[in-house]
């Protein structure tokens, strides 16, 4: 897809939000009802395109050093009228539109998480961390992202407060919400839980997840695996919360979900 086509798709999604701005602003009866230097479409496009400079410098670049460039204070006031859901709607619509012509029968996704530092705010205990060893105080969010490896785009994200982060819940949420029924999800160590396996399998997807080496605390430590350096091993597991005698009496190679777990070491 050409850059002009991609930009058009982005602008189309921004316009959709602007046409329903009452759903995405703090005060629908007052916000964005008057013509200003920063109408909703220009405001959102400017925020999306901002880099790491100060607000003043970013505005000067965006308005090409025009005398009509709004002040940083005016920008902040306009930005504060807009709900975060506006950008979520643009992101979801933009990602979906890029995948409409998807002709891939078996898409592959990768999932991972990363911390994002935001403006320091000691009054937000869910994101605030006090600095140690001379380090300044800081606030963090945790971004969980699902990435389409063929399309080279992010198709879903879950943003969590760093103090309350849970990558397993974010993984499950993105899998459960996905409209795709058949795909491969790839993840690194730390995501290997039976709950995640079950959600992926029940969705009809497949997973390729690294696990810790065998030993204490490792999932593979309880498996009867071959004593070899490398191997492929198909095995059946019981994935259930039940602790009845019938369940415990079933052979270890029975999987109640009727799906094998394939291990590659």
Q: Greater confidence, 32 or 15?
A: 15
Listed range (90-104, 161-175, 232-246) with the worst mean pLDDT: 232-246
SS3 (DSSP) at 40: helix
What pLDDT is stored for residue 55 in this prediction? 94
Which of 36-45, 152-161, 225-234 has maximum average pLDDT? 152-161
Mean pLDDT of the chain, nearest integer: 86
Residue with tokens 């963090």: 140
State yes or no: pLDDT of 256 exceeds 50. Answer: no
Surface-to-core class of residue 79, CB atoms within 10 Å of its CB (0-12 exposed, 13-18 middle, 19+ buried): middle
Q: Where on the phi/psi map is residue 186: left (φ > 0), alpha (ψ -120 to 50), or beta?
A: beta
Contacts 24+ apart (CB under 8 A), 193-199: 193/168, 194/237, 194/239, 195/168, 196/168, 196/171, 196/172, 197/239, 197/261, 198/239, 198/257, 199/172, 199/175
State yes or no: pLDDT of 255 exceeds 60. Answer: no
Query: What b/e sequence results for 90-113 when a residue is b if at least 16 CB atoms lie within 10 Å of its CB, and e otherwise?
Result: bbebbbeebbeeeeeeebebebbb
Average pLDDT over residues 3-29: 93
State yes or no: pLDDT of 259 exceeds 90. Answer: no
Listed range (120-129, 164-173, 205-214, 250-259) with the worst mean pLDDT: 250-259
Q: Greater confidence, 241 or 164?
A: 164
Query: What b/e sequence results for 139-167 when a residue is b if at least 16 CB atoms lie within 10 Å of its CB, and e otherwise?
Result: bbbbbbbbbbeebeeebbbbebebeebeb
What pLDDT is stored for residue 194 in this prediction? 86
- What confidence category does residue 103 fall into, taking pLDDT thresholds of 50, 70 and 90? low
Q: Where on the phi/psi map is residue 137: left (φ > 0), alpha (ψ -120 to 50), or beta?
A: beta
Report pLDDT digits (tens) over 185-234.
999 988 988 899 989 999 999 999 988 776 666 777 767 677 777 777 77
């Amino acid at each position: 897809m050409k850059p002009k086509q991609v930009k058009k798709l982005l602008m189309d999604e921004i316009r959709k939000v602007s046409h329903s701005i009452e759903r995405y602003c703090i005060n629908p009866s007052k916000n964005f009802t008057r013509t200003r230097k920063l109408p909703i479409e220009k405001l959102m496009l400017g925020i999306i395109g901002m880099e790491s400079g100060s607000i003043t410098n970013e505005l000067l670049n965006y308005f090409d050093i025009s005398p009509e460039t709004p002040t940083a204070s005016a920008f902040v006031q306009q930005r504060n009228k807009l709900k975060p859901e506006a950008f979520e709607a643009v992101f979801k619509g933009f990602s979906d539109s890029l995948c409409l012509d998807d002709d891939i029968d078996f898409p592959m996704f990768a999932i991972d998480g990363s911390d994002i530092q935001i403006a320091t705010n000691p009054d937000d205990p869910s994101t605030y961390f006090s600095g140690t060893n001379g380090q300044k105080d800081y606030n963090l969010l945790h971004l969980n992202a699902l990435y389409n490896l063929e399309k080279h785009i992010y198709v879903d994200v879950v943003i969590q407060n760093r103090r309350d982060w849970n990558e397993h819940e974010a993984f499950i949420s993105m899998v459960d919400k996905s409209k795709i029924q058949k795909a491969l999800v790839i993840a690194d160590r730390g995501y290997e839980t039976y709950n995640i396996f079950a959600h992926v399998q029940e969705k009809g997807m497949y997973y390729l997840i690294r696990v810790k080496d065998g030993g204490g605390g490792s999932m593979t430590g309880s498996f009867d695996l071959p004593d070899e350096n490398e191997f492929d091993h198909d095995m059946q597991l019981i994935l259930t919360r039940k602790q009845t005698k019938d369940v415990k009496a079933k052979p270890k190679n029975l999987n109640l979900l009727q799906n094998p777990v394939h291990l590659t070491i």
